């Protein structure tokens, strides 16, 4: 997540309907966020950034719950952008890697 934010161009591009989306999410003790991108033959296209601060209750969640919340919240917030397109969710949280 941090690598994408610091290495890719930080400007947004229009989506390509022929390419699936990749949603990379992450959570910390204070916030959650995600990056919606498309990996194309010509390179990675950043489509959207989304983040927010966790409220007091969410800060008390276990790590797995915060990571799952990041996925759920990002999908919910970006549903109108993703539409019916195929997408892949990437997470660095091992217990959620094989979640389908």
Distance (Å, whole) CA 18 – CA 40: 10
Q: What is the pTM of this model?
A: 0.83
Residue 99 covered by a domain: no
User: Residue 37 has which token pair?
Assistant: 């991108």
Distance (Å, whole) CA 57 – CA 3: 29
User: Residue 19 has which token pair?
Assistant: 């390419």
Residue 29 covered by a domain: yes
For residue 55, give the 3-state DSSP assignment: coil
> What is the domain-level CATH number for residue 75?
3.10.20.370
More confident residue, 56 or 5: 56
Overall domain count for the chain = 1
Tens digit of pLDDT for each residue in 19-70? 999 999 999 999 999 999 999 888 889 999 999 999 999 999 999 999 999 9
Residue 20 covered by a domain: yes
* H-state helical runs in the chain: 2-7, 56-59, 63-82
Burial annotation 34-53 (CB, 10 A radius, 16+ → b, else e):
bbbbbeeeeeebbbbebbee
* Residue ranges making up the domain that contains 13: 2-92
């Amino acid at each position: 997540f941090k690598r994408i934010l610091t290495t890719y161009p930080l400007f947004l591009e229009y989506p390509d309907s022929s390419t699936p989306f990749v949603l990379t999410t992450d959570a910390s003790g204070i916030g959650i966020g995600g990056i919606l991108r498309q990996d194309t033959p010509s390179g990675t296209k950043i489509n959207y950034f989304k983040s927010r601060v966790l409220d007091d209750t969410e800060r008390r969640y276990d790590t797995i719950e915060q990571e799952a919340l990041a996925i759920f919240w990002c999908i919910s917030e970006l549903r109108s952008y993703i539409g019916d397109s195929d997408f892949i969710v990437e997470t660095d949280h091992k217990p959620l890697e094989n979640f389908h």
